[in-house]
């Protein structure tokens, strides 16, 4: 592998998800990975650190400050740039000078702990202003630029080489099209935000399947600077039933020359991020034709030693098959895709016409169910705990499918509904959330319709 290190190119990890922040030991393991793989940036911005977002005016306690100081020092030892992020947008009063004082005091507290680089976030907030803010600034974008520019100038007085990052309220193409933040919000950001400040962008969507060069070039013209990609490809905080261990993909290699950096905001559960971050690092440094699937298999091979069990071992092929069921938001891996298509085709056929396909599918479901069972015996318990819900759910679905196929194969010419004593109403796919999910059915075009639509007509 040939190293590719753009001078000021940021590559690395954002701890920026909703959910329980990572532990100090997990972050140290992350820094070890990043050092080995050539990633240079860590951004501390967990949404559910109360003092990052909800209680942003409150200073960190002595014990909290000590932990952050240790984190900053660990980054320094690993030669990783530490960025601290603050998100005041939920309730900031832009025209109140005391609010800027609160922001400076927080940044000063971090500066004394050794932090030199900062980020200001205005994402996931109401796009409205108080009456006095409208009177003074005229627009949300101008008010935010004033705050960011003031904080940036202040940080540069403390550290002339300080890097400053900004997350706008409209941070993806869909938000821009819906005019979130107001008319000409992003154009105002591009015009009024100091040019040294980097601007985050997630692509066409919050979770973007693809980010093209043409899209980024369009945003570069609006921002008047190269965008900094906040990549949610592997984020799972919006769906606790899933995680994503597929490869970094859907981004052409030419993208690296059009952006100021690639930062990944990954799975909430730290132990599940080996393959996403390993393949991101490969993408950043790789020269040649990028093969995402080959990168995935190679990273899975590296991750495989983490999966030692106390009982019967799984194989690398087993791990890849399991990973293919939790691949990427918009696609399953090849083996997961094959399994799903086989099941759909077989269940659309009358059981009297089943032949060897049913036997083969039963064998596949039994194998995957067994892999899930064996993974329950992982020696690395934190890895198992991160996987446990998904292991159980996939195991249950494989068990039900295998039982249904077996029952129907035994009664191919009888229209008898399948039953299972292990999957009872209320305990299986139960609860109000599951019931609500069955009320509206999403159509292939993304629209929704009631599940009973057309009934009785």
Residues 282 and 364 in one domain: no
- Mean pLDDT across the stretch 160-177? 97
Residues 324, 392, 238, 200: is their CA dihedral positive or negative?
Answer: negative
Residues 181 and 35 in one domain: yes
- Mean pLDDT across the stretch 280-309? 97
Residue 435 lies in a domain: no
Residue 446 lies in a domain: no
Residues 324 and 224 in one domain: no
d(CA 260, CA 123): 19
Residues 170 and 270 in one domain: yes
pLDDT classification of 182: cutoffs 50, 70, 90: very high
Which residue in 124, 127, 237, 377 is the catalytic one? 124
User: Which of 20, 22, 42 has its CA nearest to residue 31?
Assistant: 42
pLDDT of residue 453: 62
d(CA 274, CA 272): 6
User: Which of 295, 188, 211, 192 has its CA nearest to residue 258?
Assistant: 211
Residue 121 lies in a domain: yes
Half-sphere exposure of 29 (CA within 13 A, CB side): 12
- Number of domains within the chain: 2
d(CA 235, CA 177): 23
pLDDT classification of 67: cutoffs 50, 70, 90: very high
pLDDT of residue 421: 83
d(CA 263, CA 251): 13
Beta carbons of 266 and 386 less than 8 angstroms apart: no
Helix (H, G, I), strand (E, B) or coil at 83: strand
Residues 286 and 320 in one domain: no
- Mean pLDDT across the stretch 422-448? 88
Residue 171 lies in a domain: yes
Alpha helix (H) ranges present in 86-212?
97-112, 131-137, 140-158, 173-177, 185-192
DSSP state of 415: -
- Mean pLDDT across the stretch 180-189? 96
Which phi and psi angles does 28 have, rounded to 5°? -65, -40
- Mean pLDDT across the stretch 89-108? 95
Beta carbons of 207 and 249 less than 8 angstroms apart: no
Which H/E stretch holds residue 434? helix 432-437
pLDDT classification of 5: cutoffs 50, 70, 90: very low
DSSP lists the bridge partners of residue 450 as: 440
Which H/E stretch holds residue 15? strand 10-15
352-391 pLDDT, tens per residue? Answer: 999 889 999 999 999 999 999 999 999 999 999 999 999 9
Residues 53 and 141 in one domain: yes
Within 10 Å of residue 413's Cβ, how many Cβ atoms? 8
Q: Is 92 exposed, middle or buried (0-12, 13-18, 19+ CB in 10 A)?
A: buried
Asked if 124 is an active-site residue, the reply is yes
pLDDT of residue 3: 35
| Cα-based angle 385, 13, 36 (whole degrees, multiple of 5) | 85
Residues 413 and 273 in one domain: no
Domain that holds residue 413: 316-423
192-232 pLDDT, tens per residue? Answer: 999 999 999 999 999 999 999 999 999 999 999 999 999 99
């Amino acid at each position: 592998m040939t190293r590719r290190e753009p001078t000021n190119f940021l590559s690395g990890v954002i701890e920026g998800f909703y959910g329980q922040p990572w532990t100090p030991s997990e972050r140290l393991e992350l820094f070890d990975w990043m050092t080995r793989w050539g990633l240079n940036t860590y951004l501390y911005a967990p949404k559910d650190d109360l003092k990052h977002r909800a209680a942003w005016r409150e200073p960190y306690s002595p014990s909290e400050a000590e932990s952050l100081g240790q984190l900053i020092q660990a980054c320094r030892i690993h030669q990783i740039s530490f960025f601290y992020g603050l998100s005041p947008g939920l309730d900031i009063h832009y025209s109140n000078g005391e609010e800027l004082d609160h922001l400076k005091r927080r940044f000063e507290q971090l500066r004394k702990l050794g932090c030199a680089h900062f980020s200001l976030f205005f994402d996931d907030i109401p796009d409205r202003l108080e009456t006095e803010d409208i009177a003074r600034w005229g627009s949300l974008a101008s008010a935010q630029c004033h705050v960011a520019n003031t904080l940036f100038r202040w940080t540069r007085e403390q550290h002339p080489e300080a890097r400053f990052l900004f997350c706008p309220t409209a941070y993806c193409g869909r938000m821009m099209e819906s005019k979130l933040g107001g008319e000409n919000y992003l154009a105002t950001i591009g015009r009024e935000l100091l040019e040294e400040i980097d601007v985050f962008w997630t692509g066409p969507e919050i979770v973007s399947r693809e980010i093209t060069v043409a899209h980024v070039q369009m945003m570069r013209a609006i921002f008047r600077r190269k965008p900094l990609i906040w990549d949610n490809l592997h984020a799972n905080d919006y769906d606790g039933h899933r995680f994503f261990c597929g490869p970094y993909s859907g981004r052409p290699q030419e993208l690296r020359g059009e952006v100021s950096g690639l930062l990944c905001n990954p799975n909430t559960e730290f132990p599940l991020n080996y393959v996403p971050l390993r393949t991101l690092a490969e993408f950043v440094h790789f020269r040649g034709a990028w093969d995402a699937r080959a990168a995935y298999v190679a990273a899975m091979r590296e991750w495989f030693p983490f999966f030692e069990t106390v009982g019967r071992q799984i194989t690398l092929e087993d791990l890849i098959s399991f990973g293919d069921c939790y691949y990427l938001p918009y696609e399953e891996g090849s083996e997961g895709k094959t399994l799903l298509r086989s099941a759909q085709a077989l269940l659309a056929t009358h059981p009297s016409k089943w032949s060897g396909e049913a036997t083969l599918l039963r064998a596949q479901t039994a194998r995957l169910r067994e892999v899930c069972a064996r993974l329950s015996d992982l020696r690395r318990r934190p890895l198992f705990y991160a996987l446990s819900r998904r292991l159980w759910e996939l195991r249950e679905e494989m068990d039900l499918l295998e039982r249904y196929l077996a029952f129907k194969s035994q009664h191919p010419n009888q229209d008898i509904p399948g039953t299972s004593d292990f999957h009872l109403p209320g305990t299986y796919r139960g609860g109000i959330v599951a019931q609500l999910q069955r009320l509206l059915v999403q159509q292939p075009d993304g629209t929704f319709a009631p599940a009973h639509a057309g009934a009785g007509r």
